[in-house]
Amino acid sequence: MITYKCRNCGAQLKVSDAGGFSCSYCGCRAFMSDSELRGNEAFRQKILSFYMAKAMAREDDYSGDDLWEETGNVSFIMDNSKPLTIAYMDKYIYPGMECFLAKKNVVYVFDDDKEADMFMKGLLSLTFPEADMKLDRCFPMLTQRLHLKDGREVLVFVRKPYFYPVEVFAPLKAEHLAWVISRMENICCALEFSEISHGDISTASVFVNPVTHEGMLFGDYRNLKRFSTQGDLKKIRETAKQVMERDSGPSELFAFLDSKPRANAYEDFEYWDTVIEKGFGGHKFVRF
């Protein structure tokens, strides 16, 4: 077993959540260099596994997610005669389906299985570049499909901690709106890669995490089209205008919001990147 001693007091160091090691007695911190880690591959793999486990635990930790509160609940009877109760913070009504914002899930209730099939067909039409497989985190992740006794169908998706519709945080200051637009542009690039248009980008369908600055796109996946993302890029601008703080931000931001979308999502993202550089002084993580 390998142990590491604190250079200040001599106590055994412990692996810290923040990275490296910490002394529980005097509070000193220590970090291993890349050369040291390369010299002990087995230990390096253990360290990586440790941080991966920590990261996954934080992703599923709802203890600090105090924004969610129950405003209503609805009950159904499943085809096995067992009850299904959904406690929700908000709900969204669409033709042929309802969407509920639950504590740990986003739950869709469809009028019938055909509507649910259309939704899943649209969602499964997404493809992602091998170089950036993390883009799949920007889209709904199915955990359950349930059948109701009255013929309706339920799709249950994961709602990670701190993810809420962007309208929950409105009005947004320009520096926060900037990263929200960046996430929406990222999502549109994924749609462009899949050669589809979502068609339902809105203040209710765009979910953001103010802690990690991640984004997800929910909404309606039944009407995805096999054509350009021009409509989605236009809706990015409309959504941003609806949630922004009035008269807040650099002139480059307003020029972008009033501009016609570029030919495709990739070019539009390049344009947005110039707004970040010239209008906001570059990419910065601004704490929400």
- Domain extents in the chain: 14-59, 72-158, 167-280
Q: Residue 206 in contact with residue 215, Cβ under 8 Å?
A: yes
Is the domain covering 167-280 a CATH 3.40.630.30 domain? Answer: no
Cα 176 to Cα 163, 284, 285: the distances in Å are: 15, 10, 9
- Residue 32 gets the label, from left (phi > 0), alpha (psi -120 to 50) or beta, of beta
Q: What are the beta bridge partners of residue 94?
A: 97
Identical fold, 72-158 and 167-280: no
User: CB 116: neighbour CB atoms within 10 A?
Assistant: 23
Q: How far apart are CA 258 and CA 69, in angstroms?
A: 36
Q: Where are the beta strands (DSSP E) in the chain?
A: 14-15, 21-22, 29-30, 72-77, 83-94, 97-102, 105-110, 142-147, 153-158, 164-165, 206-209, 214-217
- We find that the CATH architecture of domain 72-158 is 2-Layer Sandwich (3.30)
Q: What is the pLDDT of residue 1?
A: 43
171 preceded by a cis bond (ω within 30 of 0): yes
Would you give per-residue pLDDT tens digits along the chain (288 residues)?
455 666 666 667 666 655 566 776 666 666 666 555 555 666 556 655 555 555 455 667 888 899 999 999 999 999 999 999 999 999 999 999 999 999 999 999 999 999 999 999 999 999 988 777 678 899 999 999 999 999 999 999 999 999 999 999 999 999 999 999 999 999 999 999 999 999 999 999 999 999 999 999 999 999 998 877 899 999 999 999 999 998 889 999 999 999 999 999 999 999 999 999 999 999 887 877
Q: Cα–Cα distance between 206 and 228 in angstroms, integer?
A: 19
Amino acid symbol at 268: D
CA terminus-to-terminus distance, the chain: 42
- Tell me if residue 78 falls in helix, strand or coil: strand
**Whether this model's pTM surpasses 0.85:** no
